[in-house]
Chain A
């Protein structure tokens, strides 16, 4: 590991902050320059993220690009960063999505309470925190990012959203804070336990051994503190009610970051913190969690079928998808975990595609009700095709990226929990319904009056949506680069804590 590598994560977190600082010096009136600086910064961060991925050595287990400095030594807290394959993939997803969001939402800041400067400063600060939350290898540092990132999102929803934006923002914040405070109790618990057993630290690698010394009861309680926080964030039924409101009220770009990246912190946390720190407790609660996950899959799908609002529809589909991800994680098999991680990545892009195209549609029609659309295929073919492909990706059509991950999750779950896997498969059938019904209503059929003169996608919008669709299609046919990064990390998580894959009766494809 050379010195240049060591600071990559910090560099990628520093760049957006520098961008924010640069924005501070721009006169308020110069909106264009503000946007250009924001775009340039996010593109630069994305380049750093890609370079980091290329330099990532996927044959080495453990954390890479590690960096550790004492932060609050009195409490054993370090500014410690590092990524394994799982974290790297999620960081890559975040840094790729951010510039896309900036391009697609070029004019999003205009309907807000505050200036474009505020909007892009919030986005850039959020990007720093998104990288930090995935890159932390110190539990305390993770918590700081986990909680602090609520603040920019809160202002993005409340300040730049539409409709009942203030109420939605508050609901989002209160749910998250409640979960966060439960997690704080668990973190205090970890702190005191690690002190009691002689090693005052928050280092995740060291803490992975903590479960061997604390009582099972304590492990269960600490586990719940983390898990409830992540289940609210992910969100899992019945802690999901904040998500549709937040997604409906936020701008499409914010929704992409909210559902695509922030909610992944929940599922990522389940892998990194629940499974790694509390393996026995995870096993104890697995039946309950798998049940909740299956309920989420079906419940989200049913609500999506009944949804009249296009943004709420996407939010409900996400609840269903997060059910799949959670199920894959707690199946505790290598395939399930790899599938869940790949699912997180793919869900980021298919949701981004859906939200962004939905955003373009809403912008033109000035309505987000599905029944107001109709016959878009004839009027705006490119927009309609984009929505169609995004929808197909969401329902996991073979050949598109989500199929691979959904298949892996189901296979991984089936080897251990066949019943859950079989019930979850109905979720796929329902997915076909909740995607194809709105596709039929909005894109096909006679053109609804008022839609005849809608303009098709502009060049900027095409530039934003093209890479997303390209990634969806490319990974559908050739997912192995990502799986190569993910698999060793998934194997490590599974084996490190004494989980074993059940012996397969048939060999499974990967």
Chain B
């Protein structure tokens, strides 16, 4: 006879995620029942409220720790709290970008170029579905780094991915490209999910468990067949490396970054990275730490290739969104050094880096949404020339974000780079340190080229202009810029907070 144990849930700890999910469901109901005209504002309000409430409830439970929040499939600990908080903060400022409807198609189901599309544009329809979709994605992202059961982890992966696939296809201009990007993202994403599942199967075969703690016990016990462990780690890593955009699983990211509506790109580039790296850190730190000789060499190789490839290929880019995509690939390489470090400073540094990089990324893409001509956003870098003359403040802010990406002192990027490289070197990886600084030098080249273009070239008269940012976009950019520089000048409070809080509960 099967005895059924009713699950016990620690609602206080799960509340941040539940609030976001509840917000998403309310959003769905609004889509179903509210009149069209009332949707946009109420959706934005619901989304922001859900995110802020979630952050508030997270702050309330910031000191709790539990491995049994949801029957051993969710572990809430300091690191999980910090990652969830980073995802929420980044989402809040990214949602403000979404609020600018100029970015999105009027009617997603209308064929590009059809009469229906024209009619929908004339009627000024709006896709307000983006808000609940975003909230679902945020909920998945928040679950991803705290899930300790591989099945839950997989569910979280799909919850965060599916809405993103949809969001990527909703661009208002160049819709075919956007839809192509969405399809590409979806197909490759499905492919990587399959690898991920395969990895789960092998790990289950190895350890007879799907929980991270169970796998860890099997690794320490050393009784299983190591081939299965190796295959399991490899396949699981492929799924995760795809999400973070590491070489050679990066092929989707330039196309998706370019094709997706810029506001979605901002959200995806920043928040997905936090979630995916958060999960990766947990899996490798908690389950596979003792098997490091089996995975670390491969991961080091991938990190090195990712840094160098991302920086080199970015040089050749002529499109600002593609350039930022390759730059994010290079940053994925830098972030992998935090996973490789496998020590407390690596964890602290990764969390700091993820937050700092995420905020700067949202800010940078926020600025990309502002540079437009009559046909929409202008992402061709050549047409950005002389931007500093036309709109000095926008150009200065963009230059600031680029300097942060390049890791120039007095920006958050520098502190992040210093701490993550020193963590990797502390664990004995000299190759990471040397390749890291050298590819930073390569990367500096293309960041500076954009600064030259904006400040030292004369403007071209082709109708490119910087639109006056809406209040929402202004808030996003100003908050990102302030955080980026504040964390560069005085990062101590955040670093101390991370250092005292970040830890994984086994």
| Interface check A26, CB cutoff 8 A | no
Contact A166 B444 (CB under 8 A): no
A220-259 residues at the B interface, CB under 8 angstroms: none
Complex-state Cα separation, A208 to B406, whole angstroms:
30
Report whether B422 and A191 are in contact in the complex, using a CB–CB cutoff of 8 Å.
Answer: yes
Chain B residues near A150 (CB-CB < 8 A): 408
The yes or no answer to B437 lying at the interface (CB within 8 A) is yes
| Residues of B contacting A155 in the complex (Cβ-Cβ under 8 angstroms) | 455
Binds A, one of B63-71, B89-97, B237-245, B492-500: B492-500
Which of A69-77, A472-480, A494-502 has 4 or more CB atoms under 8 Å from chain B? A69-77
Q: How far is the CA of A447 from the CA of B23 in the complex (A)?
A: 84
Q: Is A159 an interface residue (CB 8 A)?
A: yes
Nearest to B451 among chain A residues (CB) is A154
- The stretch among A52-60, A171-179, A483-491 that forms the contact with chain B is A171-179
B492 contacts A73, C-beta separation under 8 Å: yes
Contact B437 A113 (CB under 8 A): no
Is A211's beta carbon under 8 Å from chain B? no
Using Cβ atoms and an 8 Å threshold, which residues of chain B touch A158?
A: 452, 455-456
CA distance A70 to B417 in the complex (A): 20
Chain A residues, CB < 8 A from B403? 151
Residues of B within 8 A of A165 (CB): 456
Please tell me if the beta carbons of A184 and B418 are within 8 angstroms of each other in the complex. yes
Any B CB within 8 A of the CB of A470? no
Cα–Cα, bound, A66→B452 (Å): 39
Report yes or no: A188 in contact with B457, Cβ–Cβ below 8 A: no
Chain B 420-438 interface residues, beta-carbon cutoff 8 Å to A: 421-422, 425-426, 433-434, 437-438
**Minimal Cβ-Cβ distance residue in B for A225:** B437
Q: Which residues of B contact A166 (CB under 8 A)?
A: 452, 456-457
Residue of A nearest to B499 (CB): A74
A188 near B433 with CB under 8 A, answer yes
Complex CA gap A73/B495 in Å reads: 9
B496 in contact with A147 (CB, 8 Å): no
Would B440 and A181 count as touching, CB distance under 8 A? yes
- Closest chain A CB from B446 CB (angstroms): 11
In whole angstroms, how far apart are the Cα atoms of A204 and B495 in the complex? 23
Residue A429 CB within 8 A of the other chain: no
The answer, yes or no, to whether B292 is at the interface (CB within 8 Å) is no
Taking a contact as CB atoms under 8 Å apart, the answer to whether A147 and B457 are in contact is no
- Asked whether B408 lies within 8 Å of A174 as measured between CB atoms, the reply is no
- Are A113 and B408 closer than 8 Å at their CB atoms? no
A488 CB to closest chain B CB (Å) equals 32
Q: Please tell me if the beta carbons of B410 and A148 are within 8 angstroms of each other in the complex.
A: yes
Contact B389–A72 (Cβ < 8 Å): no
Interface positions of B from 372 to 409, Cβ below 8 Å from A:
388-389, 392, 403, 406, 408-409
Instruction: Verify if B441 is at the interface (C-beta below 8 Å from A).
Output: yes
With an 8 A cutoff between CB atoms, is B419 at the interface? yes
Check A185 for interface membership: any CB of B closer than 8 A.
yes
**Smallest CB separation, A214 vs chain B (Å):** 14
Q: Does A122 lie at the interface of the complex (its beta carbon under 8 Å from any beta carbon of B)? A: no
Asked if B445 is at the interface (CB within 8 A of a chain A CB), the reply is: yes
Tell me if B214 counts as interface (CB < 8 A to partner A).
no
| Least Cβ–Cβ distance between B485 and chain A, in angstroms | 12
Q: Are B425 and A188 in contact (CB under 8 A)?
A: yes
Complex Cα–Cα for A173 and B414 (A): 17
Q: Of B348, B433, B445, which one neighbours A174 at CB under 8 angstroms?
A: B445
Interface size on A, residues (CB 8 A): 37
CA A114 to CA B396, docked complex, whole Å: 13
The answer to the question of A399 belonging to the interface, with a C-beta cut-off of 8 Å to chain B, is no
The one of B392, B419, B426, B441 that contacts A181, using a Cβ cutoff of 8 Å:
B441
Across the interface, which residues of A come within 8 angstroms of B415, CB to CB? 72
Which A residues from 174 to 230 make CB contacts under 8 A with B?
Answer: 174, 177-178, 181-182, 184-185, 187-189, 191-192, 195-196
Given contacts A166-B457, A181-B437, contact A174 B492 (CB under 8 A): no
* Residues of B contacting A: mostly: helix
Complex: A219 Cα to B392 Cα, angstroms: 45
Per the bound structure, the CA–CA distance linking A145 and B489 in Å amounts to: 12
| Cβ–Cβ contact A148 & B452, under 8 A | no
A144 proximal to B (CB < 8 A): yes
Chain B contributes a number of interface residues (CB within 8 A of A) equal to 38
A143 close to chain B: CB less than 8 A? yes
Give Cα distance in the complex from A74 to B493, angstroms.
10
Instruction: Please name all residues of chain B whose beta carbon is closer than 8 Å to the beta carbon of A177 when the two chains form the complex.
Output: 406, 441, 444, 448
A14 close to B (CB within 8 Å): no
Tell me if A174 and B499 are in contact (CB < 8 A): no
For A169, the chain B residues whose CB sits under 8 A away are 452, 456
Question: Closest residue to B411 on the A side, CB-wise?
Answer: A148
Please tell me which one of the listed residues B348, B417, B421, B448 contacts residue A173 in the complex, with CB atoms under 8 A apart: B448
Contacts of A174 in B (CB 8 A): 441, 444-445, 448
A389 contacts the other chain (CB 8 A): no
Contacts of B440 in A (CB 8 A): 181, 184
Report Cα–Cα, A150/B434, bound state, in Å: 22
A74 to B494, CA, bound (A): 10
Asked whether A170 is an interface residue with its Cβ less than 8 Å from the other chain, the reply is yes
Contacts of A143 in B (CB 8 A): 409
- Given A74-B495, A151-B408, A177-B441, A192-B425 contact (CB < 8 Å): yes
Closest to B497 in A: A74
A112-125 to B contact mask, C-beta < 8 Å, 1/0: 01100000000000
Judged by a CB distance under 8 angstroms, whether B491 is at the interface is: yes
A188 contacts B421, C-beta separation under 8 Å = yes
**From residue B315, how far is it (CB to closest CB) to chain A in Å?**
12
Q: Which B327-360 residues sit within 8 Å CB-CB of chain A?
A: 348
Complex Cα–Cα for A150 and B490 (A)? 20
Instruction: Provide the residues of chain B in CB contact with A113, threshold 8 Å.
Output: 388-389, 455-456
Provide the residues of chain B in CB contact with A148, threshold 8 Å.
Answer: 408-410
The answer to whether residues A195 and B426 also contact, given A158-B455, A181-B440, A182-B437 and a CB cut-off of 8 A, is yes
> Are A71's CB and B492's CB within 8 A?
yes
**Distance between B172 CB and nearest chain A CB, rounded to angstroms:** 35
A72-B491, A147-B408 as given contacts; A159 in contact with B448, CB under 8 Å:
no
CA distance A70 to B421 in the complex (A): 22
How many whole Å from A216's CB to the nearest CB in chain B? 16
CB distance from B456 to the nearest CB of A (A): 4
Q: A147-B409, A166-B456, A188-B425 are in contact. Are A181 and B438 (CB under 8 A)?
A: yes
Q: List 28 A-B contacts (CB under 8 A).
A: A70-B492, A71-B492, A72-B415, A72-B491, A72-B495, A74-B496, A74-B499, A113-B389, A114-B392, A158-B452, A165-B456, A166-B452, A170-B448, A173-B444, A174-B441, A174-B444, A174-B445, A177-B448, A178-B441, A181-B437, A185-B433, A185-B434, A188-B418, A188-B422, A188-B425, A192-B426, A195-B426, A196-B426
Residues of chain B at the chain A interface (Cβ within 8 Å): 348, 388-389, 392, 403, 406, 408-410, 414-415, 417-419, 421-422, 425-426, 433-434, 437-438, 440-441, 444-445, 448-449, 452, 455-457, 490-492, 495-496, 499
Closest 8 pairs (CB-CB, A-B): A166-B456, A144-B409, A181-B437, A188-B422, A185-B437, A147-B409, A74-B495, A181-B441
In the complex, besides A173-B444, A181-B438, A192-B422, 12 extra interface pairs with C-beta distance below 8 angstroms are A70-B492, A71-B492, A72-B492, A75-B418, A113-B388, A147-B409, A155-B455, A158-B456, A169-B452, A174-B445, A177-B406, A184-B421
